[in-house]
């Protein structure tokens, strides 16, 4: 009996791979239909070509794949970022193609206020680097706008505070664009409201605002998150109408405050900034009117006095016209003789031209020119025929020569290619032999240098019977004078070292031999000293 026939078969059903994967998928989805997972985003690369987003959530001990479908990704308030710690809400499912499980995310939020603040700071720096918060983009708020646009909730206390403050200071035409100031759609509604006010045409049925107020009451950081969204900040920075931000209380700061043309601590403060006090303005205008009337009166008096002084200094009509009248009389007296001289001069010129014209009769000149023209025509016809025949002959010769040169060039180019190929092969062989010879020469030189180093090194010297003597401090003893009696020394030989003590009397230091006197010259009849 073989081994397979001895295995128990039982009544267990057979599963296909697809059936087993489907059963596992249903089991996991039923057990984990709704979960909230906290972890750090890893491997985020943005949406793929289909618009879906794939990444992982991890902590110190585990990792789980995550997916956000295209439709859900467009509605997310918090966009995924690499390394961001988040709380993901969704369901657990399986992917049969990889035999793995994953979480399908429906919503995403930062894990704690600290992470949210870090996310907002990173967003602020990125938008500031694009220049959206630059002072050069700021617009001046009009002193007295005719129409004020307000983007806020129509049911809150904010709009009532703004309208009440405007009524007290200077009643103006107010347009309210109702939006949600909190919730998932709040950011998109605020951005659309700002863009909508800017899209109103000048002189249309609905008046275009001169200034826009974006207002909301105070709240926590999560309550004000809509005014930190990138879409709101970009809409505020792109607004062609001056925009005032009045979000939260005085201590609250949102990203729209940096992009707005003016930031006010409260909605009431925004109403005070966009309009002046009517009574103060009317008093100021009345004071300006009085000052203007007094200034005009004083200016009129001063101009009248100046005019009288200038009138007294002006000369009379006779005094002004006497000199020009005299110059006119002198010019009239000289005009008649000058006209007669001019007429005589032109008459002489005309007579000279008439004599020259008679000497050169047009009929004679025309006949001569016709004869010359006929001769030129005959010469030109003959020259044309000769030129055409010569050019045809030269073209035929040039065509034959061109064909010959082309054949020679093809042969020369082929021979040149063969010569260059043979020369390249020869150069390659010579380079290989030269490189091998140079390599052998350098190897031999390296071996010689190494042998020389070994022969000149201290180990080689010690092996020939020499020794190194050091004192207690390890310094070399280089002279007999340094070896005092009783002094401990260390003597190093080729195969080791040992200690020794100097004994006996003071060392006998050999005196240097006296130098020989230099001989000035050789003796007579003897050979000179070489030293």
Domain assignment present for 503: no
- How would DSSP label each residue in 25-72? HHHHHHHTSSEEEEEEEES-----TTS-EEEEEE-SS-EEEEEE-HHH
Condensed to tens digits (0 to 9), the pLDDT of residues 432-465 reads 888 888 888 888 888 888 888 877 777 777 777 7
Domain stop point among 276, 302, 328: 276
* Strands in 256-392 per DSSP E: 262-263
Flag whether 154 is in a domain: yes
Element (H, E) at 90: strand 85-95
In terms of Cα–Cα distance, which of 261, 236, 260, 264 is closest to 250?
Answer: 264
Q: Assess if residue 457 is contained within a domain.
A: no
Residue of 194, 185, 249, 191 whose CA lies nearest to 216? 249
Q: Ranked by mean pLDDT, which of 199-208, 247-256, 316-325 comes out on top? A: 199-208
- Residues 91 and 130 placed together within one structural domain of the fold: no
Q: What is the CATH number of the domain that holds 189?
A: 3.40.50.2300
- Summarised one tens digit per residue, pLDDT across range 286-334 is 889 999 988 999 999 899 888 888 877 777 676 677 677 777 877 888 8
**Average pLDDT of the chain?**
83
pLDDT at 531: 33
> Is the pLDDT higher at 11 or at 146?
146
C-beta of residue 209 within 8 angstroms of C-beta of residue 241: yes
Residue 269 predicted with pLDDT over 70: yes
486 assigned to some structural domain? no
* Same-domain check for residues 185 and 210: yes
Helix (H, G, I), strand (E, B) or coil at 105: strand
Query: What was the pLDDT predicted at 526?
Result: 42
pLDDT for 482 beyond 80: no
With the CA atoms of 138, 225, 186 and 252 taken in that order, what torsion angle do they form, in degrees rounded to the nearest 10? -60
Task: Please identify, among 227, 248, 276, the residue that sits at the C-terminal boundary of a domain.
Answer: 276
How far is Cα of residue 121 from the mean position of the Cα atoms in its chain?
22
Q: How high is the pLDDT of residue 508? A: 57
Same domain, 120 and 238: yes
* Banded model confidence at residue 147, pLDDT cuts 50, 70, 90: very high
Domain shared by 31 and 179, yes or no: no
Distance of CA 311 to the CA centre of its chain: 69
Contacts for 419 with CB less than 8 Å, ≥ 6 apart = none
Do both 218 and 100 map to the same domain? no
Query: For residue 29, what pLDDT is reported?
Result: 78
Residue 311 lies in a domain: no
In the predicted model, what is the mean pLDDT of residues 163-188? 90
Based on the domain organization, do 89 and 188 belong to the same domain?
no
- Quick one: pLDDT band at residue 241, thresholds 50, 70, 90? very high
Quick one: 163 and 232 in the same domain?
yes
Ramachandran quadrant class, 364 (left: phi over 0; alpha: psi -120 to 50; beta: rest) = alpha
Residue that finishes a domain, picked among 90, 111, 132 = 111
As for how many domains the chain has, the answer is 2
Are residues 69 and 127 both part of a single domain? no
Of 171 and 95, more confident: 171
Residues 6 or more apart from 363 whose CB is under 8 A from it? Answer: none
Structure tokens at 179: 């939006």
CATH number (domain holding residue 101): 2.40.50.140
Look at residue 512 in the predicted model and tell me its pLDDT: 52
pLDDT score of 480 = 79
Rounded average pLDDT over 5-21: 71
* pLDDT greater than 70 at residue 520: no
Domain of residue 45 covers 18-111
- Closest C-alpha among 214, 210, 239, 206 to residue 147: 210
Q: Please tell me whether residues 218 and 126 are part of one structural domain.
A: yes
- Confidence at residue 369, expressed as pLDDT on a 0 to 100 scale: 82
Strand order in the sheet with 496-501: 468-470, 488-493, 496-501
Which of 46-50, 55-59, 339-343, 520-524 has the least mean pLDDT?
Answer: 520-524
Percent of the chain with pLDDT over 90: 23
Structure tokens at 169: 């200071």
pLDDT-derived band at 356 (thresholds 50, 70, 90) equals confident
Predicted confidence (pLDDT) per residue in 378-391, tens digit? 888 888 888 888 88
Rg of the chain, C-alpha, whole Å: 56
Q: How far apart are CA 2 and CA 334, in angstroms?
A: 154
How far apart, in Å, do the first and last CA atoms of the chain sit?
116
Report, as an integer, the average pLDDT of 255-272: 91
Given a cut of 90, whether residue 471 has pLDDT beyond it is no
**Under 8 Å CB-to-CB from 224, ≥6 apart: which residues?**
216, 247, 248, 252, 254
Distance of CA 248 to the CA centre of its chain: 36
Confidence of residue 263 (pLDDT cuts 50, 70, 90): very high
Q: At what angle do helices 267-274 and 157-169 cross, to 10 degrees?
A: 30
Please indicate, yes or no, if residue 207 is contained in any of the structural domains: yes
> Which of 157-161, 194-198, 236-240, 365-369 has the least mean pLDDT?
365-369
* pTM, 2 dp: 0.42
Does one domain contain both 66 and 188? Answer: no
Query: Is 304 among the domain residues?
Result: no
390 vs 98, which has greater pLDDT? 390
By DSSP bridging, strand 243-247 and strand 262-263 are parallel
Q: Do 120 and 56 lie in a common domain?
A: no
CA neighbours closer than 13 Å in the CB half-sphere of residue 242: 18
**352 occurs within a structural domain:** no
Residues 130 and 156 in one domain: yes
From CA 296, how far away is CA 127, in angstroms rounded? 53
pLDDT at position 2 over 70? no
Mean local confidence (pLDDT), 250-275: 89
């Amino acid at each position: 009996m073989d081994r397979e026939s001895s295995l128990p078969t039982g009544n267990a059903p057979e599963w296909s791979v697809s059936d087993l994967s489907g059963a596992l998928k249903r089991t996991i989805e039923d057990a984990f239909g709704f979960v909230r997972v906290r972890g750090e985003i890893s491997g985020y690369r943005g949406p793929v070509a289909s618009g879906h987003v794939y990444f992982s959530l991890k902590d110190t001990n585990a990792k789980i794949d995550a997916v956000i479908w295209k439709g859900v990704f467009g509605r997310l308030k918090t966009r995924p970022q690499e390394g961001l710690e988040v709380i993901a809400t969704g369901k657990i499912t399986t992917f049969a193609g990889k035999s793995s499980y994953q979480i399908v995310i429906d919503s995403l939020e930062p894990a704690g206020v600290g992470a949210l603040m870090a996310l907002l700071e990173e967003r602020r720096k990125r938008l500031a680097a694009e220049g959206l918060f630059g002072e050069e983009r700021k617009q001046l708020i009009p002193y007295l706008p005719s129409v004020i646009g307000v983007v806020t909730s129509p049911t809150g206390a904010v709009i009532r505070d703004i309208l009440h403050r405007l009524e007290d200071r200077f009643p103006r035409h107010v347009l309210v664009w109702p939006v949600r100031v909190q919730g998932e759609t709040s950011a998109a509604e605020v951005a659309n409201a700002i863009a909508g006010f800017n899209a109103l045409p000048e002189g249309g049925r609905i008046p275009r605002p001169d200034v826009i107020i974006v207002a909301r009451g105070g709240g926590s950081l999560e309550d004000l998150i809509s005014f930190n969204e990138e879409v709101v900040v970009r809409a505020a920075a792109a607004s062609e109408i001056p925009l005032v931000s009045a979000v939260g209380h005085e201590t609250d700061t949102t990203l729209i405050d940096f992009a707005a043309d003016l930031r006010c601590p409260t909605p009431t403060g925004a109403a005070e900034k966009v309009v002046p006090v009517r009574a103060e303005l009317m008093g100021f205008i009345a004071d300006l009117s009085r000052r203007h009337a007094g200034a005009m009166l004083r200016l009129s008096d001063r101009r009248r006095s100046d005019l009288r002084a200038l009138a007294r200094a002006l000369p009379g009509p006779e005094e002004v016209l006497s000199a020009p009248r005299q110059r006119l009389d002198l010019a009239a007296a000289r005009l008649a003789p000058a006209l007669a001289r001019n007429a005589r001069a032109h008459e002489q010129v005309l007579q000279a031209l008439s004599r020259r014209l008679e000497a050169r009769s047009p009929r004679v000149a025309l006949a001569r020119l016709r004869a010359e023209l006929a001769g030129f025509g005959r010469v030109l016809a003959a020259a044309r025929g000769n030129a055409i025949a010569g050019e045809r002959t030269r073209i035929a010769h040039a065509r034959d020569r061109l064909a010959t040169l082309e054949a020679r060039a093809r042969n020369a180019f082929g021979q040149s290619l063969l010569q260059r190929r043979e020369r390249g092969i020869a150069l390659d062989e010579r380079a290989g032999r030269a490189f091998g010879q140079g390599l052998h020469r350098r190897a031999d030189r390296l071996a010689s240098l190494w042998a020389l180093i070994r022969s000149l090194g201290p180990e080689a010297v010690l092996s020939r019977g020499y020794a190194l003597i050091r004192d207690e401090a390890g310094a070399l003893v280089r002279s007999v004078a340094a070896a005092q009696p009783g002094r401990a020394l260390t003597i190093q030989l080729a195969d080791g070292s040992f200690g020794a003590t100097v004994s006996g009397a003071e060392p006998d230091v050999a005196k240097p031999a006296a130098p020989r006197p230099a001989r000035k010259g050789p003796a007579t009849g003897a050979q000179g000293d070489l030293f």
